[in-house]
Structure 1
Amino acid sequence: MNSIGNKIFEIRKSRGLTQEELAELSKINLRTIQRIENNENEPRGKTLDLICDALQIESTYFTNKAKPKSSESIGTFIIDGAFLILLNLLLMSIIGFLTLDSNANINSRIGALLLSFFIPFFIVLFTQKMNPLERMLKFGSGFLVYIVILMIAQGLKEGLLVSIRTGIYLCLIFSVGVLYYGKTLIKLIK
């Protein structure tokens, strides 16, 4: 039987962490980590959550309960997908309007730069347990598509000139970067 302690040991080793490093990252006593890995104790509640956060995994990884497949999961998948598409379109539109609009001035471009930090930062704040790549793909795919569309529509040379003049690429790349590295930024702030 593959116990929680054994699974934690395997994940810790695969991440290249020592027990001391895991204890420090999770803010749990070293002796507690040792007892868990030796199957003397089984972590529950907050202890399990702290270990999972430190190992960057979901606590549901340790529950062997399979979720039943139902028609709700298909409906939920469709609704979630539609919401993410609309959210990406909205985020793209905001940044595009503030930088590319004919009435855009330095104030709106500064606003776009600030929004390209704060909107993704708050997304990261509410999705801290999400994998950074998954977060970037879910919430930043619109930004990535926008960059590609601008490069195709404007051409490489003209696209670079427009991006320098308007700052749109800077905003879009800044947003994607915050989505990916936001959790590290939050840890630095704390």
Structure 2
Amino acid sequence: MVNQTLLTMKQPELGKLIQQHRLSKGMTQEELVERCNINVRTIQRIEAGEVTPRAFTVKTIMEVLQIQMPTKDPEMPRSAVGSIFSTVDRRQLWWTGIAGVIYFLVSSYEVFWNIVLMADAGMQQPEYFTLLKAVVLLSYAAFAYGFYLIGQRTNNKVLQFGVVFLILVNAGIIGADIYSGKVVGAEDMWVGVFEVVAFGVSLVPFSIGLVQSKRSFGQHYQIVGVLGLITAVMFVTVIFTLLGTLTWAVFDIACIYLLFRQAQGVEMPKQEMESGPFSMR
């Protein structure tokens, strides 16, 4: 479509091309500004051909608009080719990965107490248990947001829905415990069964969304998504809940890995780079 790179283009052709790609994605200048982390006036002047931006600014805009450059270009690192995440996006993904680590550590302790309290109704829960539950919920929401961002950037509606559904179900379960001041399922076995099944069901759309992300990021997402579906089945059947708790831990670790991997800037699969709507030939 274009036989020269944006880095060597001059104004006003550069501004016109950027505007063309922005409009083709249905993106406003404000949305582009938010994702590129630059001034709105700067975008306006670039598109108007009034200023020639720095190479770093051009590269950032290219990443957001998915404008591909030839990999032989010495000024363009391969890790940036095919990237659909801006620098700001990758920074957010990094922090959501950190939130995932916090969530995993805190939730592991919470699960231990949940099991103890449900196994022995006479056991006294620690005074800080409510605070522990709140930290688990907040860290999980921050962790899951990373995948909502991934779904948003790849237009993966299933993944976005899965994240929201998963957070709402977890909020309901943890919220009930916080409101009552105890693990609800510890006093009523059927409530405990309902919570386990509900959690298993909540994993399904999220896991399917991960599987669908294979088209954008490769088999890593498919493998993790399948593991999530296996975990969901184990929780839904109830009798395999203990085994499901183990696979759930592996699933969480794998999800944390995906976020950190994405935060580092990973190339899209080769076939998508060659056939993408913004490929430069």
Common fold: TM-score over 0.5? no
Q: Is the helix fraction higher in 1 or 2?
A: 1
TM-score (norm 2): 0.30
TM-score (norm 1): 0.40
> Radius of gyration: which is bigger?
2
